[in-house]
Amino acid sequence: MSSKTNHIMGIDFGTHYACVGVFKNGRVEICPNQQGNRTTPSVVSFVGEDKLVGDEARAQMDRNPQNTIYDVKRILGRKTNEESFESEIKKLSFRVTTYEDNFDKIYFNVNYKEKNIEVTPIEITTNILQQIRHTAETFIGGDTIKKAVITVPTDYTEKQRKDLKDAAQAAGINVVRFIHEHSAVALAYGYDEKTAADDAVKHESNVMVFDLGGSGVSVSMVKIKSKLFEIIGNVSDHNVSGEHFDQVLFQHFTQEFNRKYKVDLKESARSKAKLKSACEKAKRNLSNMNQASVEIDSLYEGLDFFTNITRARFEDLAGSLFKSAIRAVSTLLEKCDMKKEQVDKVLLVGGGSRIPAIQSQLSAFFDQRAEIIDKSMNQEEVVAYGATLQANILSQMAPNQPTNSLSDKKISSGNTMTIEATNKTIGIEDSNGNLIPVIPALSLIPCKRTFNINNTQDAQTSLNMSVYQGDQSIAKDNQLISNLQFKYGSEPLEITFEVDKSSNLLISSKQSNFKIPLRK
């Protein structure tokens, strides 16, 4: 990568933290930010005349909660009529404005430069990505970097990808490819020098990626055969996340404070922010110690709060969350029609996977085969590491390489390859309101499907088609991608659905020459 224009970043845009890497001197380098930290908080804070991003913004969460935006990854590309949306925004310390007449409109209300303004999730994401880009450019000596591979969750919708891509473009970043976070983990695993000679890489094996992070628990099965990596199944549960464990502690300590002082902490946004920050710290400490202390001066109107909690008590309080996390593992095995004895390795990813109870229950689930639980990967950096490897691969590909070549399906470098696949079914609505699958979930990318529709009404000159993404049998229970209209004649209408190497869906017909990207 000697050319300034050939640099491609690998970015993990996480719920709580973002991480960026570059390929330098023949290896992946994770870029430290201005504070020397290798991850940057995904937080933006508006303070008087200033807009702070990253570590400085996170420091404002306790003292300026109403004007500090966090967890934007959860909200980006969402619709306000989604089942869990309302309950999720109630937990936030800042104000979110939605509109009943437009489920796509979401705004954050903040005070900036002595004015009340509205900012969008895309704008906040842009601010974070600008900071990340600056971190990478500073690390390589000031050269401009305009390209990136960005990772996304396996269940991220196309609308969410579209909004993330728009935010990146606003930050001056061209997204050369989105890849699944677990594909990045698998790629990092395959490149790890310690596993290069491992039978799990050299021969056929089943590797499970167990990811417990800020947005939920996500478990994928990766089949590895002769250094070919393919995700064959995924299960996600957004009701189990690092934040849910924080919330368990928050409820516990809130009740304790209320019993002691007869005061409802929930009346104060600043008090809630202070306690939530302390709960996150206590959770992290309990992964390394048997007891954690909480010490907050003036938590509420001059009232101090000093207490502690044992790991055993925390595990008791969070028992149902642990069960749900392990349930995702068993559900994945059922989905893949596999037995637990067939799993050769379990890779732990995400800060929540550090919790000892999670590790012990995973070991118990796999009949105490502790040797298959791999704790060696850096949970905060491994996704960015894999994304950077992918970026390096793409930087070495010829600019005019045919799009239908093998390397579009099997991204290769040396002897290692990853296979990308569609995360959910793409289909159309029939006259009875059912979803008719066109491209099934987990179809290898790129892929193409063509089908014909006969005109049963002589006077019909056009066809309206609703395209959805999801795995529910009723069309409207899935995400609407677009409403299309095709010209119709006496001949059968031939329609082609194609997912390209960047996971864009192109829809076309001979009659209309109509192409619509899925990220619309």
Is residue 508 exposed (0-12), middle (13-18) or buried (19+ Cβ within 10 Å)? middle
The answer to whether 395 touches 435, Cβ cutoff 8 Å, is: no
Q: Name the residue among 497, 498, 495 with its Cα closest to residue 509.
A: 495
Q: Which letter, b or e, does each residue of 162-196 get, where b requires 16 or more Cβ atoms within 10 Å of its Cβ?
A: bbbbbbbeebebebbbbbbbbbbbbbbbbbbeebe
The answer to whether 223 touches 206, Cβ cutoff 8 Å, is: yes
DSSP state of 444: B
Rounded CA gap, 290 and 308, in Å? 11
Rounded CA gap, 520 and 517, in Å? 6
For β-strands 447-453 and 493-499, DSSP reports them as antiparallel
Rounded CA gap, 441 and 424, in Å? 4
Task: Copy the structure tokens of residue 116.
Answer: 């009340």
The answer to whether 186 touches 207, Cβ cutoff 8 Å, is: yes
Rounded CA gap, 79 and 225, in Å? 39
CA 487 to chain centre: 38
* Dihedral sign (CA 473, 476, 482, 484): positive
The answer to whether 221 touches 247, Cβ cutoff 8 Å, is: no
How many C-beta neighbours within 10 Å does residue 449 have? 15
Amino acid present at 345: K
Rounded CA gap, 288 and 454, in Å? 65
For β-strands 205-212 and 345-349, DSSP reports them as parallel
Task: Copy the structure tokens of residue 89.
Answer: 């925004």
The answer to whether 128 touches 70, Cβ cutoff 8 Å, is: no
Task: Copy the structure tokens of residue 494.
Answer: 């031939």
The edge-to-edge listing of strands for the beta sheet with 493-499 is: 447-453, 493-499, 505-509
The answer to whether 122 touches 163, Cβ cutoff 8 Å, is: yes
Task: Copy the structure tokens of residue 374.
Answer: 């791999």
Active site residues: 12, 73, 181, 211
Q: Which run of H or E residues covers position 38? A: none
Rounded CA gap, 369 and 388, in Å? 32
Task: Copy the structure tokens of residue 124.
Answer: 């906040």
The answer to whether 499 touches 447, Cβ cutoff 8 Å, is: yes
